Chain A
């Protein structure tokens, strides 16, 4: 299972009012609730599966559906170069 990390120069920030943004080089991306929930868990240690499991528990969602949604969102973020895939050997226990 692959491990996502925020790319260098990309930061997640949640404001006091609960709204969340991704801070990227020279820009601010507003995040909807589900994107924020996923990105908040991207830390370079949790795998895609672990993030999906966490969210499945929290939202009492269908595990297979959640797995697919999380993978798709992270793939999109990766194509924009906001998310990178951490090498397996750099994973922490």
Chain B
């Protein structure tokens, strides 16, 4: 039954350490629990096992992956040797010319650099450090190199009104791919949800502006806009279905079907330090728990969108209801949809957003 599933993509979280304190981080709250990190040799074995399983793309992320620069270079090289495409997801503050040279020499295909806002004052406030200018310099340097580059900006109540300026910044530094992603409410972001979630009016205005910019820049810039699922009629098809295409290996070696799944305390997640990756993917209880459509309750079970949305996100269902096996309450058909509308209504009614809690170890 598990035979047809094949992972295409691996998220390799090299560390949860980070020099920034973005309150929208989806990393888990108990960051200290992840201090013991897999060593380079173990990560190389994980990449080999992933390639054998059929993985085609590796995303190196964290935390901030370039806090382990030697591992980044070695693992990008190993990914390339095994024919896998490599993405580096970084905030860019440690991306020196020397590191860049070594990463490109190792075969890095794509770099995604995040900015917190288009202008330094707000950006540095969100990051909790004076780093915006260094990020712009990193973007400018990478844009001149033979590597794909994406500028990413996580959107929330405090910066979503500046989407046009983010796009203008990308044009100015010569970036051809932009990802504008509404904060996904997991980990620290879930904790900060009342401070982060934009109002419906903000979301709709941003959508119109991004659409207009995408039209104007067609063929010159590719703009991806990840919407806020709390305001959408249907939930996001998280990971294109639990355990169907995607796996995450956390810094401690535990393997998750979704980067936010550590929050689901009702499941036990296996580690690459104890079990082969292939066994975890095919056989483990955690990866099979919500695979396919067999686990679905109503209204998913009889829904014509069950293989479009895959029931939405298991982690979000758990965070909002305490049961990862229920329909994602972000879905307007969920009997518990009020758990979401209660939040969006509170956001719209509140004159001031709640205070932001910075991400800290």
Contact = CB atoms under 8 A, between A and B. Distances in A.
A79 B219 contact: yes
A33 interface: no
A7 B109 contact: no
Contacts, number: 45
Contact of B148 (A10, A28, A80): A10
Interface string A1-35: 00000011111010000000101111110000000
Interface residues of A, number: 16
A81 interface: yes
Interface string B51-63: 0000011010000
B56 A21 contact: yes
Contacts of B56: 13, 21, 23, 28
A59 B357 CA distance: 63
A58 to B, nearest CB: 25
Contacts of A13: 56, 83
B329 to A, nearest CB: 27
Contacts of A10: 148
Contact of A26 (B83, B112, B146): B112
B90 interface: no
B87 interface: yes
Of listed B9, B56, B150, residue having the most chain A CB within 10 A: B56
Contacts of B354: none
Given A25-B109, A26-B57, A9 B147 contact: yes
Contacts of A28: 8-9, 56-57
The size class of the interface chain B forms with chain A is 20 to 34
Contacts of B149: 9
Contact of A81 (B8, B112, B147, B219): B219
A81 B57 contact: no
B219 A25 contact: no
B301 interface: no
B79 to A, nearest CB: 11
Contact of B222 (A8, A11, A81): A81
Interface in B314-332: none
A25 B8 contact: no
A10 to B, nearest CB: 7
A28 B112 CA distance: 17
B219 to A, nearest CB: 6
Nearest to B87: A26
A8 B177 CA distance: 12
Contacts of A80: 222
Given A9-B147, A81-B219, A81-B222, A25 B110 contact: yes
Contacts of A27: 57
Contacts of A24: 148
A10 B87 CA distance: 12
Given A23-B85, A25-B87, A81-B176, A8 B147 contact: yes
A26 B147 contact: no
Of listed B9, B85, B147, B222, residue having the most chain A CB within 10 A: B85
Interface in B98-121: 109-110, 112
Nearest to A81: B222
Interface string B128-171: 00000000000000000011111000000000000000000000
A25 B148 contact: yes
B81 to A, nearest CB: 14
Contacts of B83: 13
6 contacts: A8-B148, A9-B110, A23-B85, A25-B109, A26-B110, A27-B57
Given A24-B148, A28-B56, A79-B218, 18 more contacts: A7-B148, A8-B148, A9-B147, A10-B148, A11-B85, A11-B109, A13-B56, A23-B56, A23-B109, A25-B87, A25-B177, A26-B87, A26-B110, A26-B112, A28-B8, A28-B9, A28-B57, A81-B176
Task: Give 3 closest A-B pairs by Cβ, nearest first.
Answer: A9-B148, A23-B85, A25-B110
